[in-house]
Chain A
């Protein structure tokens, strides 16, 4: 469906529900959770969130912590995953409501606090829909089963003669109906069926899933009332800005706070304890300035005089480290994948090609820098934070305060972007330590410079790919060596990637080459490494797709044809043996349920080349690049069109994305994620890099950590969603990995320059 049709379809859908589309009071479903509390009891913006205890004590039907049906008919659905722009609050609750048979106009969505009662709340790995699709349906189906049982009991009929839809239970033979509200109290007295015993609806009965759905927080986003972590205010609160060490392992030797304390509004200066390796989610040490407002705290920090003991990382230089990684992939590593005899086949090959690819450190830079608010009172702690991982936040806070986790409440606000940064609870640790020490509520505000210089960086990497071609040019051997400091190094001492890292685009790479070898090479960590949207898939997809393009050009053939040839025939790989590996974490899902489906990968490649008129590109004088990748159990192919502007800059003027993510709940948010992935991938491909000298990050703000701006965005991003009933795959991340190689390949088509090192701005004017 084209974008235009999509928009018309959405209007029709809303019109059918008799909703005001233009107004900001969309009646589709309401949300009071992340807008302000009613002003009467408010002392500042603070979102109303839900805890399991609160739901359980409300009268009505409470079969589980996710669904509540009140006697007045209001259905409350708890969203237990964090909203960071992926549209989860406009997706998961719809699924539950559809299973229940609720009328969306009488559904309210509230955000869950961090509590193990909700199960896993970690909002990462593109895992919310794909990981718990059936579990979430069961929560709604359980409530429906109990409402039906209550109605059947009252009518003295068999439950299987009744059904729930549109907020009522209907007795089919007599057409009698009872509203959900009328049944709520009686239903609450019914035995709660075991989750495995409840029957899920056939997919066709899910009324809203897969249809154009409105954005629940849209109105609050555009009128300024949406409450992000940065917006929370408590009475008597002080704002803290922290001078953190700029080098990993550096400590405060001594400091003088007298000038800082002389600034009007500055109340306290507190030294944070230095963290000990492994750093994990610990606070980062340094000196905090607490003040009545953010401006005073910032001025206070600037007035601190600190002498740092720089430690052993003061000699670290990322440019030299790049050379170290390069040397690492030029020597054999630990073999993690082996099919046939790659070394033998390379030795016998008619032609051997190899190429080395580099991607730098990257920072997350969500538009809302890390921020958190907390208060500690009488042995309990309350936290408001834009966290992707509220239970980790709770654990970290409990540990830092020496409290049992039950005494810590974490309220999840809206997240002003996250991309993996806000899974890490270092800023939570900071805020609770400062609150405890100061004895008043504290808000920690990171500046953009703090964020750029103290991130958990996306790992710097080197890839070396080697291919053996036979006389006809066919690829008969494939060797992939990869080196990057893994995320695990932030949590324990390790010095090379493992199976869990190489599963992202190396071990699960569905190529049909008879001889394959993949090796993990040494890479010691010197900075905090963390997961960034799409993680290792970024550099693995970049190198693999670039290399295929190189092979095609060397053979004088079409990249699409060579890509399909390297992938081999359409097939479904369901065993690790076929992949030549011992194990595949497979994003937490069994390989039988989510195989490496080469047919689907081929499908998105064929579709995207069709939509972009790939075959006509030379005739039409267009420079296109193609790339495709499986990640987070979804399949995405991208074609990028690159042009040279009159000012000599190379830019992306159009992009096509085809995504096969299996079943999708909210197609418009899927589309939005793909559009965003193109822009995010463009930043990686063209503009962004973090470098370190003297152990410290050289960039500081958007001036030198460059992101895509609107004038650089493509004129058009076409998104095509493959219709599918397959089990859902991820959406937030899989769009990103193919973008950079598609652009790099298009740049080659346009300029003849093969860029093997990102960002492209190092090689060309962009």
Chain B
């Protein structure tokens, strides 16, 4: 079955199993490896992308759900890596191993799109589904606030 989906602003046509999770379509078929596999069950958030601007876990989203829709991945978050969140992430040295950070950024980007000045609670709630085994959470919070132009306390 042919799936038509707009990925990072470019129209693509894919001939894949419609049940294939969006994650594997991105990684194995389209070669967009910035979106990560971490659990396969929407428990860790490493695979977070935007489907029509909404946060979805690509590991449990069948590609057929993206048919006729628009998907944004970390590679498309900004044209040159200059999204305020990406800048704040580098400035504050957020990543340790870096593996979960694409998912963290995509979740945070959707939050800021909806709530440009989120509260501490809103930041924690929106990122509750994104695990980081290295433990970068306190810097993630600080970087979201920095990108939002909020001072730290």
Contacts and interface: CB of A to CB of B under 8 A. Distances in A.
Interface of A: 4, 7, 10-11, 21-24, 26, 44-45, 83-87, 214-215, 217-228, 230-231, 233, 239, 264-265, 292-296, 298, 365-369, 414-419, 445, 447-449, 668-669, 672-673, 675-680, 701-703, 707-711, 713-714, 716-717
A24 B135 contact: no
Contact of A702 (B31, B93, B131): B131
Contact of A294 (B27, B87, B135): B27
15 contacts: A7-B91, A84-B97, A215-B95, A218-B89, A222-B95, A225-B75, A228-B36, A264-B17, A293-B24, A298-B40, A367-B131, A416-B100, A417-B97, A676-B96, A679-B137
B41 A703 contact: yes
Contacts, number: 217
Contact of A223 (B37, B74, B123): B74
A448 B44 CA distance: 10
B34 interface: yes
B86 A24 contact: yes
Nearest to A22: B87
Contact of B98 (A293, A414, A445): A414
Contact of A416 (B97, B135, B139): B97
B34 A710 contact: no
Given A710-B132, A713-B141, 10 more contacts: A85-B95, A214-B93, A219-B90, A233-B31, A293-B20, A367-B131, A367-B133, A369-B37, A445-B37, A676-B135
A223 B95 CA distance: 12
Given A222-B89, A223-B75, A22 B137 contact: no
A667 to B, nearest CB: 11
Interface in B114-152: 123-125, 127-128, 130-141, 152
A83 to B, nearest CB: 8
Contacts of B97: 83-85, 366-368, 414-418
A367 B46 CA distance: 8
Interface of B: 17, 20-21, 24, 27-29, 31-41, 43-44, 46, 73-75, 77-78, 80-82, 85-87, 89-93, 95-102, 105, 123-125, 127-128, 130-141, 152
Contacts of B27: 231, 294
Given A4-B152, A230-B33, A417-B99, A447 B40 contact: yes
Contacts of A680: 133-135
A231 B144 CA distance: 27
Nearest to B106: A224
Contact of B24 (A26, A294, A711): A294
Closest 5 CB pairs between A and B?
Answer: A224-B34, A679-B135, A416-B99, A85-B97, A221-B98
A675 B135 contact: yes
Nearest to B31: A44
B133 A22 contact: no
A265 B16 CA distance: 10
Contact of B99 (A265, A367, A678, A711): A367
A647 to B, nearest CB: 13
- Most chain A CB atoms below 10 A, which of B39, B46, B85, B134: B134
A628 to B, nearest CB: 20
B106 to A, nearest CB: 10
A362 to B, nearest CB: 12
B16 to A, nearest CB: 8
Contacts of A265: 17
A296 B28 CA distance: 11
B134 A701 contact: no
B31 A224 contact: no
A314 to B, nearest CB: 27
Contact of B95 (A23, A24, A217): A217
Contact of B86 (A26, A86, A222, A449): A222
Given A294-B24, A675-B136, A710 B98 contact: no
A24 B81 contact: yes
Contacts of B98: 85, 217, 220-221, 226, 228, 414, 416
A711 B34 contact: no
B125 to A, nearest CB: 7
B56 to A, nearest CB: 17
B138 A295 contact: no
A319 B82 CA distance: 52
Given A367-B99, A415-B97, A448-B38, A710 B33 contact: no
Contacts of A702: 39, 41, 43-44, 131
A577 B139 CA distance: 45
A510 B100 CA distance: 39
A296 B34 CA distance: 21
A676 B140 CA distance: 12
Given A293-B29, A367-B46, A710 B137 contact: yes
